[in-house]
C-alpha cells in the first residue's frame, strides 16, 4: 500500500468510526429522552420491584387463593421483573403485563421471550379492558392511585384481588399486608372494591 492509499484508507476508517459513534450517541440520547418523556406522561418512573417485593406480592396472591389458570394483570410492568416472578410462581396462570414506555416494554418483551404464560402489551392501561382479570398487581406512584382506584371500580368483578406495592389505595380496606425485612416497599392485598363491602 503506497503512502497515499494508506492515508485514504485511514481517513475512511476514522470517518466510519466517527459516524458509528455519532449514531450510538444519538440512539442512547433518544432512549434516555424517551424514558424521561414517558415518565413525564405517566408520572411514574420505570423502577423495578426488588425480589423481596415480588415475593411479598406472590405470598399475598397465594393467600388470596387464585385459580391455577388465573388471569393476572401487571399494570405498568416496566422492565418485566414482577411479571417474570409471577410467571415462575404461577406457571399455569396467564400473566398479562401492560407498559406504556417503549424502552422498558421492549426490554421486558426480550426478558420474557421464553415464558409461555406471559403476554405483554404496550399502551396506556387505562385504555385496556380488564374485565377478565382474576387478579391485578401494580407498583406505581402516590398520585396515580386515586385515578387507578376509580378505573378499577368500573372494571373489576367484585372480590378481585388487587396487590399494590409501596403506594397503597387511600380509603380502601386492606385485607392483608406484607412488609418484609430490608429496604423495600410494603405490599397490600385488597379484595376490590375494598370499600367496606363484604368479599
Ligand atoms: C415503578 S415501575 C414498576 C415496574 C414493575 N411493575 C415492577 O414491579 O417491576 C411503574 C411502571 O408503570 C408504567 N406506567 C405508569 N402508568 C402507566 C399507564 N397508565 N399505562 C401503562 N404503563 C404505565 C411506567 O411507565 C413504569 O414503567
pLDDT score recorded for residue 197: 59
Give ligand 1 pocket residues (Cβ under 6 A): 38, 42, 44-49, 74, 76-78, 81-82, 98-101, 104, 124-126, 139-140
Read off the pTM.
0.90
Whole-number Å distance between alpha carbons of 32 and 20: 18
176: β partners: 189
Which stretches in the chain have pLDDT values below 50? 198-199
Q: Which residues contact 100 (CB under 8 A, 6 or more apart)?
A: 38, 41, 42, 76, 122, 123, 124, 125
Q: Are strands 160-165 and 118-122 parallel, antiparallel or unpaired?
A: unpaired
Q: Which residues contact 171 (CB under 8 A, 6 or more apart)?
A: 195
What burial letters (b/e) apply to 113-151, b meaning 16+ CB within 10 Å?
eebebbebebeebeebebeebbbbbbbbbeebbeebbeb
pLDDT score recorded for residue 198: 43
The answer to whether 136 and 71 have CB atoms below 8 angstroms apart is no
Distance from the alpha carbon of residue 45 to the mean position of ligand 1, in angstroms:
7
What secondary structure letter does DSSP report for 170?
T
Amino acid at each position: 500500500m503506497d503512502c497515499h492509499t494508506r492515508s485514504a484508507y485511514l481517513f475512511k476508517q476514522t470517518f466510519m468510526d466517527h459516524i458509528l459513534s455519532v449514531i450510538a450517541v444519538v440512539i442512547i440520547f433518544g432512549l434516555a429522552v424517551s424514558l424521561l418523556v414517558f415518565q413525564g406522561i405517566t408520572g411514574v418512573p420505570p423502577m423495578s420491584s426488588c425480589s423481596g417485593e415480588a415475593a411479598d406480592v406472590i405470598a399475598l396472591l397465594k393467600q388470596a387463593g387464585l385459580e391455577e389458570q388465573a388471569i393476572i394483570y401487571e399494570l405498568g410492568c416496566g422492565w418485566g421483573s414482577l411479571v417474570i416472578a409471577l410467571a415462575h410462581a404461577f406457571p399455569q396462570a396467564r400473566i398479562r403485563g401492560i407498559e406504556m414506555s417503549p424502552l422498558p416494554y421492549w426490554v421486558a418483551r426480550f426478558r420474557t421471550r421464553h415464558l409461555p404464560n406471559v403476554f405483554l402489551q404496550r399502551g396506556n392501561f387505562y385504555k385496556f379492558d380488564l374485565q377478565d382479570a382474576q387478579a391485578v398487581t401494580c407498583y406505581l406512584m402516590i398520585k396515580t392511585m386515586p385515578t387507578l382506584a376509580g378505573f378499577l371500580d368500573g372494571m373489576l368483578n367484585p372480590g378481585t384481588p388487587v396487590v399494590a406495592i409501596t403506594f397503597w389505595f387511600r380509603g380502601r380496606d386492606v385485607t392483608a399486608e406484607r412488609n418484609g425485612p430490608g429496604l423495600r416497599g410494603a405490599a397490600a392485598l385488597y379484595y376490590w372494591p375494598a370499600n367496606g363491602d363484604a368479599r
